[in-house]
Structure 1
Amino acid sequence: MIALTRYSLSMLVRGQAYIAPFVLFGTAIVVLTTNDLGPITGTYSACALTQFVCGLWFTVAIVNTEDRAQRSMTVVAAGGQRRVLAANALAATVVAGGLTAIGVAYPAFSGTHTVTAADLAVGALAQLVCGVAGVAVGLLCSRVVIPKAGYAVFASLAAIGALTMIPPVPPVSPVMTLLSGPEPAGRMLAPIAAFGAFAVAMLVASVLIAEQVARRQD
């Protein structure tokens, strides 16, 4: 699995498909958090939203790096579609972890905030939760599930709208609402961790669904 994950990351770098989502992430973080005032947890809400969108984009980029013939060979060599999809998801999660480090540190130094350890923990956990949710959605919007690019774009936009604008739909919207609320950071850890478990369940389900769809298309 480690070798497959490294292969997924290397293909992402070689194809330079990481540039657009990384530029989006960097631009959004700088624009939305530089010289920001007030509770830093509110600032982390914008970072979490950015993580979700970029996590989705990075995942699609990772899965779509190989064309159909190349992916078929990778699946055979790896021993199955599920292993390749799991490696793709793990690679995208690694990327989300790297972006989380930036998304937690930059707002703390660029704005005027009183930052505690609980604030940093909440910010990191919330961004990881939204990043993993983005990976889960990205798998279902990739070429493996939706072969036509136009339909994939519409599906991605619909998913982003549903998970960020409909409050009851977990985990992204509730996490953003929680971060923007008046609760102290210490009290946010437990509910955000619960949403994290939901995001992991989403990811597992997405891998299984993508595997079944890919088998039928093959």
Structure 2
Amino acid sequence: MIALVRYQLAMLWHSQRYLPPVLLYLGMTAILYSDNSGPALPGYAVTCGALLVVAGWLTIALVDVEDTVQRALTATHVRSMYRMLFGIVLAALVCSVGLAVLTVVWSEIAHGFGYAPSDLGIGLLAHVACAVFGIALALPCSGLVIRRIGYAVAAAGVLFGIALLAKWIPLAFPLLLALSADSASAALLIRSALVAGCVLVVSAFLVTTWFVRRA
């Protein structure tokens, strides 16, 4: 599995499809923390929402970096379409965790190393949870399900908007609201992480089953 993740990361690196989302994210982070004198959690609400979108963008890029023939060869080599998709999810998660760690460290340096360790821990886990939401929602918008890029972008925009803004669907919105109010609790963070993990498992299973049956 490590070899598969390294292969996916190498494909993404050489394709350079990671550059637009990562550069936009880094630029937004630089602006946000150019004068970081406030509390940690409200700032993390902004970057968590942004990372959800970036993680989804990277997931779609990872899926679409291979054409149909290459994808079939990769699935044959690893002996399972489910395993191949698991490798894609892990590769996207590795990139997202790296950006999450960078964000938390950046905010701490910009604040003069004045944040409480608990706030840093909550921020890091919140970023990872939002990244998992982004990966889960991006899978059904990828080339495995939607082959036209215009439809994929529209579908991803709708799903990301629901995850970030819909009060009636408890995805990322409750966590982002608590962060912006500087009142995120460990219980809410754990619940959000569990929901994100469940959504990812269901999304990966349904997408892979759909792709295998259609193929």
Equivalent residue, structure 2, for 1:217: 214
Q: 1:25, 1:51 within 8 Å by CA — same for their partners in 2?
A: yes
Matches within 5 A, 1:1-218: 1-111=1-111, 114-183=114-183, 188-218=185-215
- Percent identical across equivalent pairs? 31
TM-score, scaled relative to structure 2:
0.95
- Match of 1:175, SS? helix
Q: What root-mean-square deviation, in Å, do the aligned CA atoms of Structure 1 and Structure 2 show?
A: 1.4
Query: CA 1:114–1:168 in 2, change beyond 3 Å: closer, same or farther?
Result: farther
Gaps of 5+ in 2: none
Aligned residue identity for 1:216: R
Aligned residue identity for 1:206: S
- Match of 1:144, SS? coil
Query: CA 1:8–1:182 in 2, change beyond 3 Å: closer, same or farther?
Result: closer
The number of aligned residues is: 215
State the Cα deviation string for residues 101-133 of structure 1 (Å, max 9, x = none): 111111222247841011100100100000111
Structure 1 distance, partners of 2:32, 2:131, is 18
Aligned residue identity for 2:73: M
- CA positional deviation for 1:38: 2.1
- CA positional deviation for 1:138: 1.5
- CA positional deviation for 1:168: 3.2
Moved >6 Å (runs of 4+): none
- CA positional deviation for 1:17: 1.1
Q: State which drifts further: 66-75 or 36-45.
A: 36-45
Gaps of 5+ in 1: none
Q: State which drifts further: 33-42 or 133-142.
A: 33-42
Aligned residue identity for 1:197: L
TM-score, scaled relative to structure 1:
0.94
- CA positional deviation for 1:47: 1.0
